[in-house]
Structure 1
Amino acid sequence: MQMQTEESSLQKVIQDIDVEYESLESSSLLTNAMAGALAGITEHTVMYPIDSIKTRMQVVKPNPQAIYSGILNAISKISSTEGVATLWRGPAHALYFGMYEHCKVLFGAEGEKQNFLAIAAAGSCATIAADGFMNPFDVIKQRMQLHGNKFRSVAKCGLSVLKNEGISAFYVSLPTTLMMTIPFQAIHFSTYEFLRKNLNPSNTYDPKTHVISGGLAGAVAAAITNPLDVTKTLLQTKGSIKSDASLKNINGMFQGVKFIYEKNGWKGFTLGIRPRVLSHIPSTAICWTTVSNFSFLMFV
């Protein structure tokens, strides 16, 4: 009798948790922003070395010392010649998730039937807000990830870019970044929501759903948008690459695309695709799982 009572109590607790979890989609903007910030810290700390390798492998005309045959070769070569800490060099996402959850509600994506257009629009709005703010930091990050860079602090790198190339250097890649990240996030969020709803139709607390959905969504979005990511890397690092003087004349996405094609053909747009996809699988899985768990803990 006592055992039955305990089982009944346990079932009630589980049911209460499930009900509370289903209410997370209406959690506050502050909670979503805090969850996004924590997710960003976790994701970037774990996956930053792979992102550094991706940047180097996307350089169209790299220094001969910065040519790598694969991810493991890059890790070994960088670690042995430049030190392991180099893989974490550069500045380390509250805007993304706060804006995304707010826009999902605003665009009516919270009904029983999935509205993929509204989800994609919410992801795009989150991207525009975040990229507009973060683009200068991304330029600094990629400059500090390059082989042979002399910068040891974010401030010194930023001041050097400003002094030698002007403020436009921080935003020359913004149109390309938006052209990449808007479809990336639209594909990412739509794929994630589709997989999450189908893998967990009851919307109960199930962390593995976020791991699988997040990882697959990140991989699909990363692979599809890699050509634009190569172009963005070219625009953001051209001021630090001295091996080709013609890079100085590239001031936009179309010129960048033309340059990449002339140097490497269509193959040039696949540069860095392996580390990009491999980094997005665990990073988006970590990101969504962290957001989900943090929001749940804050709510309960």
Structure 2
Amino acid sequence: MASATPPVEPAIAVPQPTKGKKPPYPFYLGGLAATIAASITHPLDLTKVRLQASGEKRMIESMRKTVRTAGVRGLFDGISGTWLRQMSYSLCRFWAYDESKKILGAGPDSPPWVLATAGVMAGSIAGVVGNPGEVVMVRLQGDFAKPPEKRFNYKHCFDAVYRIVREEGASSLMRGVGPNVIRSVLMNASQLASYDFFKSQLLKTNYFQDNAVCHFTASFAAGTVATTVCSPADVLKSRIMNASGPGSSSTFNAIRASLANEGPMFVFKGWVPSWTRLQPTTILIFLTLEQLRRIVDWQRGTL
């Protein structure tokens, strides 16, 4: 008698990972990456602001003067203002840029003008949100470049916010918001958009993969573009925010006085220290951001 054939068990379907878009990264990653980068490059940013505000011309000499008068620690004057600025302005701009790309349907192969439009949208929002942090940062960094009788002598960023509101009114925290928004728009349309563009173009070649070499190259190019595009608004922003007194917040007055005293090339004053500061900052921001994203992917199991 033939043995009965045992029933065949139905195959259990093993769920396969779906290939789709990754879930969005935490909104604060951009601000955290920018804070880390700005902390490392703070001495260069401090020197740039003092050159733009005081009219000095030599970056190295300015740094030596700071060390002579305040020691090495003086190169980190106002770092609490830098942290406040990055965790308001930079956090907002990276978040708004990602959201703007979603609205526009932008992807890796999008043309530069679409990415730049997303940068303009992000910069318009972040420039307003981050303006109080900008005012505090510029004043803290520029204080020791002034004569003692003209210094603000803020203890830290929170003391600066409190005293500005108490002594000058809350509206003073929006001093220079016009040039700051313009600079923010230019920065995001040039730095963020050009990084995405250069990265996508590099990945289309046979020489680059999605790794640190590609990220470094794309961010180097983005830093040079951003420095040149943003220099005029950056100079005006620093001069207006660092000023005080009636009529000192007028963008027109600042332009007229600077043109009369220094000529039209004043808008590129401090370009070299700006490039020297922005280049490593841009590289550090994107290298750090890409690594933070990899950590998130590793935690999610999507690496």
Provide the rounded CA distance (Å) in 1 between the counterparts of 2:251 and 2:178.
7
Provide the rounded CA distance (Å) in 2 between the counterparts of 1:273 and 1:37.
25
Report whether the alignment pairs 1:212 with 2:217: yes
**What is the CA-CA distance between 1:26 and the residue it aligns to?**
4.2
Report whether the alignment pairs 1:101 with 2:92: no
Moved over 3 A (4+): none
Q: Compare the two structures and name the one with the higher helix fraction.
A: 1
Provide the rounded CA distance (Å) in 1 between the counterparts of 2:23 and 2:94.
12
Match of 1:116 among 103, 107, 112: 112
Contact preservation (8 Å) 1:215, 1:283: no
> For each residue in 1:197-236, what CA deviation from the matched residue of structure 2 results, as whole angstroms up to 9, or x when unmatched?
2212278431111112112212221122211111111110
Secondary structure in structure 1 of the residue aligned to 2:105: coil
Task: Look up the match of 2:11.
Answer: none
Q: Where does the alignment leave 5 or more consecutive residues of structure 1 unmatched?
A: 1-18, 240-246
Indicate the structure whose relative CO is greater, using CA pairs within 8 Å and at least 6 residues apart: 1
Provide the rounded CA distance (Å) in 1 between the counterparts of 2:248 and 2:209.
51
Match of 2:200 among 197, 202, 205: 197
Match of 1:133 among 129, 132, 144: 129
Which segment drifts farther, 201-210 or 122-131? 201-210
Q: Where does the alignment leave 5 or more consecutive residues of structure 2 unmatched?
A: 1-17, 84-89, 298-302
**What is the CA-CA distance between 1:117 and the residue it aligns to?**
2.3
Provide the rounded CA distance (Å) in 2 between the counterparts of 1:133 and 1:289.
25
Match of 2:267 among 266, 269, 272: 269
Provide the rounded CA distance (Å) in 1 between the counterparts of 2:25 and 2:273.
33
Q: Structure 1 residues 102, 29: CA separation in 2 closer, same or farther (over 3 Å shift)?
A: farther
Match of 2:258 among 244, 257, 260: 260
Provide the rounded CA distance (Å) in 1 between the counterparts of 2:44 and 2:201.
30
**What is the CA-CA distance between 1:136 and the residue it aligns to?**
0.7
Report whether the alignment pairs 1:144 with 2:149: no
Task: Look up the match of 2:296.
Answer: 298
**What is the CA-CA distance between 1:44 and the residue it aligns to?**
0.8
> For each residue in 1:11-60, what CA deviation from the matched residue of structure 2 results, as whole angstroms up to 9, or x when unmatched?
xxxxxxxx99xx7x744152xx232122112111111111111111002x
Match of 2:43 among 44, 49, 53: 49
Secondary structure in structure 2 of the residue aligned to 1:249: coil
Contact preservation (8 Å) 2:116, 2:189: yes
Secondary structure in structure 2 of the residue aligned to 1:248: coil
Larger radius of gyration: 2
Q: Structure 1 residues 34, 158: CA separation in 2 closer, same or farther (over 3 Å shift)?
A: closer
Provide the rounded CA distance (Å) in 2 between the counterparts of 1:100 and 1:94.
10
Contact preservation (8 Å) 1:29, 1:101: no
Task: Look up the match of 1:242.
Answer: none
Task: Look up the match of 2:9.
Answer: none
Matched pairs, number:
263
Q: Structure 1 residues 127, 26: CA separation in 2 closer, same or farther (over 3 Å shift)?
A: farther
The percent of aligned pairs where both chains have the same amino acid is 20
Match of 2:189 among 186, 189, 204: 186
Q: Structure 1 residues 29, 95: CA separation in 2 closer, same or farther (over 3 Å shift)?
A: farther
